[in-house]
Structure 1
Amino acid sequence: MSTPISTISVRPEAQGFKPYSPGLSINEIKQRYGLAQVIKLASNENPLGVSPVVRKVLESKAALAFRYPQCGYPRLRQAMAEALGVDVARIVAGNGSDEIIDLLVRVLCRPGQDHVLAARPCFSVYGSQALICGVEFRQVDLNPDYSLPLTRLAEMADERTALVFVTSPDNPTGVAAKTDDLEALARALPKRTLLAVDEAYIHFVDDEQRASLLPRLASLPNVALLRTFSKAYGLAGLRLGLGVLPPELADIMLRVQIPFSVNLLAEEAGIAALSDHIFYEETLRVTREGRAYLMSELAALSCAPQPSQSNFIMFTPPQEAKAVFEGLLRRGIIVRPLASYGLADKIRVSVGRMDENQAFVSALREVLGA
């Protein structure tokens, strides 16, 4: 019996699409190596887990999971606006900040005409969503010291540049741009170009006033900021993010957004997370103390850590990075090799609880024979 020939026509962009490459899961490594305990320091998740306040709210609201959330999420958007000190007309909530990225490309970019600019390496979703929308994706290499190539991004932009994405602090380097430099980039871009600054890791910087454009948005009509609840707020599994946008752009985004893309439990969790200042501050304390500890220990092991303003550290081990990564896996420690970022000699480790950080250092010492 012959196999039927499909008559479905698939766009070329979809045929060549490369899926997102996530970090390895704890269960996967337990099964592979027969381990009882595995520590995951690969995905930049919150070291403290989920806020107790959020857990109570989720338990109390679970019975409402059969209901649709209120269209447009007015309560959630108002809570976000109040937390950031901006007009609610600027706020768009999304199914992770990934949805905001996708909407920006769809709303602003004309397929076959416009292009998107970003650094290399960068968050893969910028390029993937441009590709699936038929929009050219252009990149500029990071500077030799891993700082963001803001000047060269401005030089590369032209009248067909619809979007420029900048991640600050950057992933995987942990480098944060200064607000003055980001503002200079925004002012140097063509009039129709939107600068989207992805601030997924902004909470972990030493001085947010020197790193975020949030206080300057009123004078920068071509700037959007992206934030996530996956890191500092511990809600990675619920998928919740937001965009702080020019009001007229936010209005259009809200109109074209797929209805109910933020589920009811994520909405309630987000509102609760914004109210739990104790958990938030403890997350920042644990992360900063753990970051300082890891920087010191990695340097002592000759691993050349890159100074970081985020909740992870990129480092260059004195031995082959792939072998070090696999040696850590066998000892139940998951970190992130950076070959997929074009940095085959480097590894990224998330900051965990202190006991997790110490277990990582101990395992790394064994692997390196130090």
Structure 2
Amino acid sequence: MREFTMRPEVMDFESYTPGLTIEQIKERYGLDQVIKLASNENPLGASPVVQKVIERHAASVFRYPQNHSPRLVAELSRHLGVDESHIVVGNGSDEIIDMLIRMKCRPGMDNILCYSNSFSMYKLTARLCGVEYREVPRGDDLALPLDALAEAVDEKTAMVFVTSPDNPTGLAASVEDLSVLAGVLPENCLLVVDEAYIDFVWPPESYTPMQAYDKFSNLVVLRTFSKAYGLAGMRLGYGVMPASIADYLKRARLPFTVNLLAEEAGIAALNDEEFYHATLDAVMRGRDYLRDELEKLGCEVVPSQANFLMFTPPAPAQKLFKELLKKGVIVRPLASFGLGRSIRVNVGTESENKAFIQAMAEVLNNE
């Protein structure tokens, strides 16, 4: 068979391997019920209002959507208090990350800066685009190393990524610290703050720079509909950025990347305040419950501002993960983040949270 030459950047890539599905776990272990607490999804599912909107527009899927999703952009502008010229909607915030790197960074010349044990998409996309990716180590107790990021920047750094709240720790950077970091970056360097979990911080005014967006000239804020709005399967996200950067992204992007149903779902989700606040209530109450119960079981729990908790159990993490699978509970071991002693669990419904804690207690008591 003929061998084709591919770009060197992709020669050693390995396909993303997701965890086992609920159906696979049921079949493997002969279970009737499985609880998935591994992917930071919305514990309440999708809003009933949004589901009805999707059903109502299902017959229109033979039509192309409007390019750049102008109706959703207008709704986001009203919702955020940011001019439409600063907003780019994407097929998940991952698409915005990809566009920013492809359109801002020069392969073989520029570099991107982040920190260790972080979300993998920044590194993966940088490598795919032929852009150097650099990391600085975290601080004590896995703190976000903003000072170290500032010190590591050079004249070829095109972007600095900060996830806040952070995945997988749940730690968040303050507005003041992000403002200082933005202020010391070189003139041509963007500070990209990935706020996938920002809805779950408290108090919100202490953590998101969005409310003072007009004070920044080099800030990009990324957000998603996957978490608080329960639309992970629709793949919908957006970025708020300088208007000049947004204009370049819109000019050079592929057309129609956000599908018609996703745009309708996003508009409906933004206006369903009842479901949104019910989600926040469920997450914050569940987060407190899980933290308290995990600590009673002897786990070291990282203080979280997200819809998940990272903890180090008093037993080998990989063994605990496998034993929980046998009991029908899926959590996320963090070896792929370079944190092999730890596990991440997202907040579920009240009954799911209690079932998880019961399963944890049973496994640890048998150690």
State which of 298, 309, 312 in structure 1 corresponds to 2:294.
298
Other-structure match for 1:190: 186
State which of 282, 285, 292 in structure 2 corresponds to 1:286.
282
State which of 328, 332, 335 in structure 2 corresponds to 1:339.
335
Are the equivalent residues in 2 in contact too, given 1:23–1:43 (CA < 8 A)?
no
Runs of 4+ in 1 over 4 A off after TM superposition: none
Aligned pairs for 1:111-150 (under 5 A) are: 111-150=107-146
State which of 230, 239, 250 in structure 2 corresponds to 1:243.
239
Are the equivalent residues in 2 in contact too, given 1:147–1:177 (CA < 8 A)?
no
Q: Which moved more, 1:58-67 or 1:17-26?
A: 17-26
Letter aligned with residue 219 of structure 2: V
* Shift, 1:18, TM fit: 3.1
Are the equivalent residues in 2 in contact too, given 1:20–1:124 (CA < 8 A)?
no
Other-structure match for 1:267: 263
- TM-score, normalised to structure 2, is 0.98
- Find the aligned partners of 1:250 and 1:225 in 2 and give their Cα distance: 12
Are the equivalent residues in 1 in contact too, given 2:327–2:359 (CA < 8 A)?
yes
- Find the aligned partners of 2:80 and 2:205 in 1 and give their Cα distance: 13
SS at match of 2:140: coil
Letter aligned with residue 332 of structure 2: R
Q: Does 1:87 align with 2:83?
A: yes
Q: Which moved more, 1:231-240 or 1:82-91?
A: 82-91
State which of 42, 51, 76 in structure 2 corresponds to 1:46.
42
State which of 332, 347, 356 in structure 2 corresponds to 1:351.
347
- Find the aligned partners of 1:21 and 1:368 in 2 and give their Cα distance: 28
* Shift, 1:83, TM fit: 1.1
- Find the aligned partners of 1:286 and 1:353 in 2 and give their Cα distance: 7
* Shift, 1:24, TM fit: 3.1
SS at match of 1:348: strand
- Find the aligned partners of 2:64 and 2:310 in 1 and give their Cα distance: 41
* Shift, 1:21, TM fit: 4.1
Other-structure match for 2:319: 323
Q: Does 1:101 align with 2:97?
A: yes
Are the equivalent residues in 2 in contact too, given 1:121–1:342 (CA < 8 A)?
yes
Other-structure match for 1:229: 225
- Find the aligned partners of 1:85 and 1:201 in 2 and give their Cα distance: 19
Other-structure match for 2:248: 252
- TM-score, normalised to structure 1, is 0.98
Encode CA deviations 1:242-290: one digit per residue, 9 max, x unaligned: 0001011001111111100000000100000001000000000000000
Encode CA deviations 1:295-318: one digit per residue, 9 max, x unaligned: 000000001111100000000000
- Find the aligned partners of 1:21 and 1:216 in 2 and give their Cα distance: 39
Other-structure match for 1:30: 26
Other-structure match for 1:161: 157
Q: Which moved more, 1:13-22 or 1:217-226?
A: 13-22
- Find the aligned partners of 1:9 and 1:18 in 2 and give their Cα distance: 17
Are the equivalent residues in 2 in contact too, given 1:176–1:211 (CA < 8 A)?
yes
* Shift, 1:146, TM fit: 1.6
Encode CA deviations 1:203-244: one digit per residue, 9 max, x unaligned: 000111000010222111000000000000000000000000
Q: Could you list the runs of 5+ residues in structure 2 that have no partner in the other structure?
A: none
- Find the aligned partners of 1:16 and 1:255 in 2 and give their Cα distance: 32
- Find the aligned partners of 2:338 and 2:99 in 1 and give their Cα distance: 27
Letter aligned with residue 168 of structure 1: S
- Find the aligned partners of 1:117 and 1:22 in 2 and give their Cα distance: 26
SS at match of 1:30: helix
- Find the aligned partners of 2:181 and 2:18 in 1 and give their Cα distance: 31
Letter aligned with residue 5 of structure 1: R
Encode CA deviations 1:144-168: one digit per residue, 9 max, x unaligned: 2221000000000011000111000
Q: Percent same amino acid among aligned pairs?
A: 56
* Shift, 1:22, TM fit: 3.1
Letter aligned with residue 233 of structure 1: Y
Are the equivalent residues in 1 in contact too, given 2:68–2:258 (CA < 8 A)?
no
Other-structure match for 2:306: 310
SS at match of 1:118: strand
Aligned length: 366
- Find the aligned partners of 1:328 and 1:141 in 2 and give their Cα distance: 31
CA RMSD of aligned residues (A): 0.9
- Find the aligned partners of 1:112 and 1:256 in 2 and give their Cα distance: 21
Q: Does 1:66 align with 2:62?
A: yes
